[in-house]
């Protein structure tokens, strides 16, 4: 493992996106979104995906560095946006910023996005609402990419269809649920495969039952399961995945996994919503702080608490990068003619 | 089992609520919501709960038969409503009707409700949006009632915190996800206990692992688990339960499980949302029909499909009621001075 400063990693990633012709603000926002994975300890969704997802998207032309998203419909609290194949890393945050502006007036703001690309950690974008004292919801499908079949098996139908819900909690770390509706995201399965580790029973299902070899996913000998597996309620996780497909992709008219004949995650759809509690009542933040204090006081960490602690540590002490990923970053730096992050 | 006509069961249940001083329209809407459980085959949430939940609510005064819900804040697409302790069975549907009216103008309508009571099947209320060609979301917490602890154990913190998402699918049955965020709702655990049956491994967790005796819940020797149990991702189900608590109860200022000192499901909160796809784009319903045709064509039943088929059967052939429940209904009829449903 190699340790680097969080700000150095973000500056490096910004420079990589600049070198791929993104404007400064979009490059910076994309870098912050991508490094959210590393600073929160979700390294499966961090800079490891630079060479796996985002640079291939830009180099192949599937993502548009000069994207100018267009507001196709504007009904006040609800907008339909064509993402113009922008990097989802910055587009989703911009959508949330717009949703919060409308929510400040109307109580709710919904930005329904089509023609987008992969946005990294859903939670990063949901947290932008929390900065404005609001509740944020972010859902995405995986466009034309189909990764997981129904619990009964059969052809792949949907992506991992993530969802995030964030809420302010006063002086406590914000509540932040950020999850794939599959039991585990593909990024974590592949990170385990790269590390040569077994995965927990339940992430993958093979013909004979739970499969703990992560390589079985890309070998095609096991399927990604839905939340609930291997328990009695996997149909609920599949239903949640379908609900995300409806809200994030069917609503805006984005690519739909079950109707796709392609294999790439193009024409991704987002559902981005902000709710402004202060437009409805006083005391929301105080009540939220009390709520999450009570949950924490009962001995239960709540989603967002460990990630918040880890983020603080990352900014104070640096971020740990797996050595193979650090080597990749150095190669990217050479290609872009920029300096790599400094190993501490 | 006793078979009765669906319309007869609804008329009887309407008469029971009328006898408990509900106005005709509210009694009828409540009966339709309650019998949705029986007609869809979810008998754990049907008329079996008349004597278990709703009549005790009315007789104790915890539910107000004359309730006149008040719009505390109206921001156009977003409203805050005090439920005046109305039966949730009709209040949630009325909230959805209001949400759809606002969504027709604004694209989205959100009705945030506090001071409500138990609403039966979330899906019944979400389906009201589908009748208007819209997507419906319905979430509720359980007010002051705490049923399930965190996955690490400890004191009970939250209710079963259900959520429902419904969407039109053209000539196909609507998509309808209707689920508790716990692995199973308490109603199904108790129905199994009444029937003397074991429950699937994963619904309850005892000190030594999964518990399949449903009586262990009310005996206090096992806890209700969250979606994901006994698999590796129960923390996600707990996170979903907390997300429902935030949206349904923290937003409107309803009773919060973790802060409660009571035991009853008073001051329940709802989050009711309608989204009007036709305000954003053409072709939504056609695309939805194609989407769910593709899912069904892949051999996967989607949520709402079996329930829709069962509802059609129930209206054609009658509804089956467990004999102990039918005896209860006869006793209720005697008490109310009305005629019981006719056994076919």
Residue B263 and residue B219 share a domain: no
Q: Are residues A53 and A74 in the same domain?
A: no
- For residue A156, what pLDDT band results from cuts at 50, 70 and 90? very high
Q: Are residues A279 and A143 in the same domain?
A: yes
Residue B91 in domain = yes
Element (H, E) at B177: strand B175-179
Count other Cβ atoms within 10 Å, centred on residue A38. Answer: 26
Residues 208-237 of A with CB under 8 A from B: 227-233, 235-237
> Which pair of tokens denotes residue B305?
């499909």
Shared domain for B195 and B137, answered yes or no, is: no
Domain CATH for B122: 3.30.1370.60
Range of the domain at A216: 184-224
Residue B99 has pLDDT above 90, yes or no: yes
CB contact under 8 A, B154 and A298: yes
What does the pLDDT average to over A104-122? 98
Residue pairs between chains A and B whose CB atoms are closer than 8 Å:
262
CB A162 within 8 A of CB A224: no
In a domain? residue A235: no
Reported as a pLDDT band with limits 50, 70 and 90, residue B150 is very high
A237 CA: distance to closest CA in chain B (Å): 8
- Predicted local confidence at residue B231, as pLDDT: 86
> Would an 8 Å CB–CB cutoff place B290 in contact with chain A?
yes
* Same-domain status, A139 and A196: no
Nearest chain B residue to A233 by CA: give it. B183
3-state helix, strand and coil shares in percent for chain B, rounded to the nearest 5? 45, 20, 35
Q: Give the model's pLDDT for residue B191.
A: 87
pLDDT band at A231 (very low <50, low <70, confident <90, very high): confident
pLDDT attached to residue B264: 86
Is A246 in Cβ contact with B165 (below 8 Å)? yes
Q: Give the span between the Cα atoms of A116 and B193, in whole angstroms.
A: 49
| Among A107, A238, A271, the residue to mutate for chain B (most B Cβ within 10 A) | A107
Q: Would you say residue B263 has pLDDT above 90?
A: no
CA distance B144 to B263: 6
Show which of residues 4-63 on chain A sit within 8 Å of chain B, judged by CB atoms. none
pLDDT of residue A285: 98
**Residue A209, domain CATH:** 3.30.60
B234 part of a folded domain: no
pLDDT tens per residue, range A274-322? 999 999 999 999 999 999 999 999 988 999 999 999 999 999 999 999 9
Query: B62-90 pLDDT, tens per residue?
Result: 999 999 999 999 999 999 999 999 999 99
In a shared domain, residues A112 and A255: yes
CA distance A104 to chain B (A): 10
d(CA A159, CA A180): 9
Q: What is the SS3 assignment for A154? A: strand
| Any domain includes B19 | yes
Nearest to A232 among B183, B232, B252 (CB): B183
Q: In this complex, do A239 and B177 lie within 8 Å of one another by their Cβ atoms?
A: yes
Judged by phi (left if over 0) then psi (alpha if -120 to 50, else beta), residue B234 lies in alpha
Query: What is the band of B170 on the pLDDT scale with cuts at 50, 70, 90?
Result: very high
Q: What is the pLDDT of residue A191?
A: 87
Q: What CATH number is given to the structural domain containing A6?
A: 1.10.1530.10
Residue A233, in any domain of the structure: no
User: Please, which pLDDT band fits residue B176 given cuts at 50, 70 and 90?
Assistant: very high
Is a pLDDT exceeding 90 seen at residue A261? no
- CB contacts of B78 in chain A (<8 Å) are 77, 106-108, 275, 279-280
Percent of chain B with pLDDT over 70: 100
Chain B contact for A174 (CB, 8 A cutoff): no
**Sheet containing B70-74, strands listed edge to edge, beginning at the edge strand earlier in sequence:** B70-74, B78-82, B108-116, B268-275, B135-140, B163-167, B175-179
pLDDT at A265: 87
A35 preceded by a cis bond (ω within 30 of 0): no
pLDDT, mean over chain B = 96
B292: its two tokens: 């769910």
Q: Using the predicted structure, report yes or no on whether residue B114 has a pLDDT greater than 90.
A: yes
- Do B119 and B216 share a domain, yes or no? no
Q: Span A59-69, mean pLDDT?
A: 97
B74 and B204 fall within a common domain = no
Whether residue A87 sits in one domain with residue A20: no
Q: Is the dihedral of CA B104, B274, A274, A134 positive or negative?
A: positive
Range with the poorest average pLDDT among A339-343, B5-9, B259-263, B316-320: B259-263
Q: Are residues B266 and B294 in the same domain?
A: yes
- Is the Cβ of B104 closer than 8 Å to some Cβ of chain A? no
Kindly state whether residues A148 and A249 are assigned to the same domain.
yes
pLDDT of B33 above 90: yes
Mutate to test the interface with B, among A82, A280, A282 (most CBs of B within 10 A): A280
**3-class SS at A338?**
coil
Q: Which of A150, A138, A151 is nearest to A177 (CA)?
A: A138
- Asked if B239 and A303 come within 8 Å (Cβ–Cβ), the reply is yes
Asked if the structure places residue B331 within a domain, the reply is yes
CB A9 within 8 A of CB A290: no
* pLDDT tens readout for residues A5-17: 999 999 999 999 9
% of chain A with per-residue pLDDT over 90: 95
pLDDT digits (tens, 9 = 90+) for A188-229: 999 899 889 999 999 999 999 999 999 999 999 999 999 999
Please tell me the predicted confidence (pLDDT) of residue A281: 98
Picking from B177, B258, B279, the nearest residue to A298 by CB comes out as B258
Reduce the DSSP state of residue A84 to 3 states and report it. Answer: coil
Per-residue pLDDT reduced to its tens digit, B185-220: 998 999 899 889 999 999 999 999 999 999 999 999
Using CA atoms, how far apart are residues B30 and B218, in angstroms rounded to an integer? Answer: 28
**Rounded to an integer, what distance in angstroms lies between the CA atom of residue B91 and that of residue B314?**
25
pLDDT band at B157 (very low <50, low <70, confident <90, very high): very high
Residue A306 corresponds to which tokens in the numbers above?
Answer: 């460990």
Output the pLDDT for position A187: 87
Q: Give the mean pLDDT of A52-75.
A: 97
Mutation target to probe the A interface, by most A beta carbons within 10 A, among B233, B254, B279, B283 is B233
Instruction: Name residue, tokens 């420079």.
Output: A15
Q: How far apart are CA B220 and CA B182, in angstroms?
A: 17
Check pLDDT > 90 for residue A264.
no
Answer whether residue A190 is part of any domain. yes
Which of A112, A155, A256 has the CB atom closest to B280's CB atom? Answer: A112
Residue B324 in domain:
yes
ipTM: 0.98
User: How many domains, chain B?
Assistant: 3
Residues A127 and A251 grouped into a single domain? yes
């Amino acid at each position: 493992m190699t340790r680097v400063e969080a700000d150095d990693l973000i500056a490096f990633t910004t420079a990589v996106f600049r070198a791929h012709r993104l404007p400064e603000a979009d490059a910076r926002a994309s870098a912050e979104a991508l490094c959210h994975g590393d600073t929160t300890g979700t390294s499966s969704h961090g800079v490891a995906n630079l060479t796996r997802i985002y640079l291939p998207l830009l180099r192949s032309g599937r993502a548009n560095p000069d994207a100018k998203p267009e507001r196709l419909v504007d009904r006040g609290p609800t907008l339909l946006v064509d993402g113009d194949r922008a990097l989802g890393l910055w587009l989703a945050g911009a959508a949330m910023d717009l949703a919060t502006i409308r929510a400040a007036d109307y109580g709710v703001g919904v930005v329904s996005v089509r023609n987008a690309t992969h946005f990294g950690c859903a939670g990063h974008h949901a947290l932008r609402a929390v900065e404005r004292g609001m509740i944020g919801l972010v859902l995405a499908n995986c466009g034309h990419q189909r990764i997981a079949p129904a619990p009964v098996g059969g052809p792949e139908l949907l992506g991992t269809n993530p969802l995030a819900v964030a809420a302010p909690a006063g002086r406590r770390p914000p509540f932040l649920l950020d999850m794939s509706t599959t039991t585990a995201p593909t990024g974590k399965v592949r990170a385990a495969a790269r590390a040569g580790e077994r995965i927990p029973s339940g992430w993958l299902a093979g013909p004979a039952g739970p499969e703990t070899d992560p390589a079985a996913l890309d070998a095609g000998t096991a399927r990604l399961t839905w939340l609930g597996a291997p328990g009695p309620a996997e149909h609920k996780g599949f239903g949640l995945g379908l609900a995300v497909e409806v809200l994030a992709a069917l609503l805006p008219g984005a690519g739909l996994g079950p109707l796709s004949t392609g294999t790439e995650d193009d024409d991704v759809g987002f559902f981005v919503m902000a709710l402004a509690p202060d437009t409805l009542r006083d005391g929301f933040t105080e009540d939220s702080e009390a709520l999450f204090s009570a949950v924490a006081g009962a001995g239960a960490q709540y989603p967002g608490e460990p990630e918040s602690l880890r983020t603080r540590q990352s900014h104070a002490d640096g971020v740990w990068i797996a050595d193979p990923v650090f080597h990749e970053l150095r190669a990217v730096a050479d290609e872009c003619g920029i300096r790599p992050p400094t190993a501490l």
